[in-house]
Homo-oligomer: A and B are copies of this chain.
Amino acid sequence: MQHDLPASGTQVLRGLELFSGLPEVALAEILADAQIYELDKDTVVFRQGECAEHCYALITGRVRISQSDEEGEQLLVRFISAGEMFGTVALFTGGNYPAEGTTTLKSVIARWPEASLLRLIERHPRIALNILKVTGARLREMQERLREVATQRAHRRIARVLLRLHAQAGQSTGSGEISFPLTRQDIAAMCGTTLHTASRVLTDWEKRGLLTTHRSHVVLRRLKDIQSIADEPGI
């Protein structure tokens, strides 16, 4: 499982939001504790309910975080892009992962045992601040999504989800391309609706030229119009 470290391992760490702003010395220390490994597409990183013993960061690839209830209803919490941390919600609470992490592409992952991270924070409090910053931003996002699901129509939420994904992973190819496989099932699970509703809305928009989809590939063609759907209070 242990992977050959790249020639300059600390260079890789520098790109992680988890360790931004840390001196080279600290990075070397962090690297020494890191477990770095590669996973194939569609592999489980951690399971919901499993005891949370690690903190993760994604070096390359993509990870899908989703939560299910007893009846199998699923919420897609978020997609993790390269450089982002994940699996940190249950950190320091001695609890279990509240969601599942799965790769959707071949991915390289780094992880640290909780105890190890704790020691690193003791020596470099900046790490804790970095985690706080990310966790705060995510908490804020969740509050917004919760409000949206509670008060807004399905098509408006779908528009917002698409824009959010585009902002997160538009890959700034200039175009409105969303750079990773995204099924309609995924879109539905992200905004709290059914595959059927998502499908109806998307085919409608495709007819109107707002976007194009092919298999699991989505391209937003008229960002302005989609934005206005996301903003319009009406109906």
Contact = CB atoms under 8 A, between A and B. Distances in A.
A88 B67 CA distance: 25
A15 interface: no
Interface string A103-136: 0000000000000001001100100110111011
Q: Which of A98, A133, A149, A150 has the most CB of B within 10 A?
A: A150
A118 B126 CA distance: 10
B133 A93 contact: yes
Contact of A151 (B98, B121, B128, B192): B192
Contacts of A71: 233
A142 B67 CA distance: 12
Contact of A69 (B122, B129, B147, B191): B147
B93 A150 contact: no
A140 interface: yes
Given A92-B132, A149-B192, 17 more contacts: A73-B152, A75-B143, A75-B146, A89-B139, A92-B129, A93-B133, A95-B140, A98-B140, A98-B144, A128-B129, A132-B135, A135-B135, A135-B139, A142-B142, A142-B146, A145-B146, A150-B192
B129 A70 contact: no
Q: Which of A73, A99, A146 has the most CB of B within 10 A?
A: A146
A91 interface: yes
A138 B137 contact: no
Interface string A77-102: 10000000000111111010011000
Nearest to A136: B89
A235 to B, nearest CB: 12
B146 A146 contact: yes
Contacts of A150: 73, 75, 149, 191-193
Contact of A142 (B69, B95, B139, B152): B139
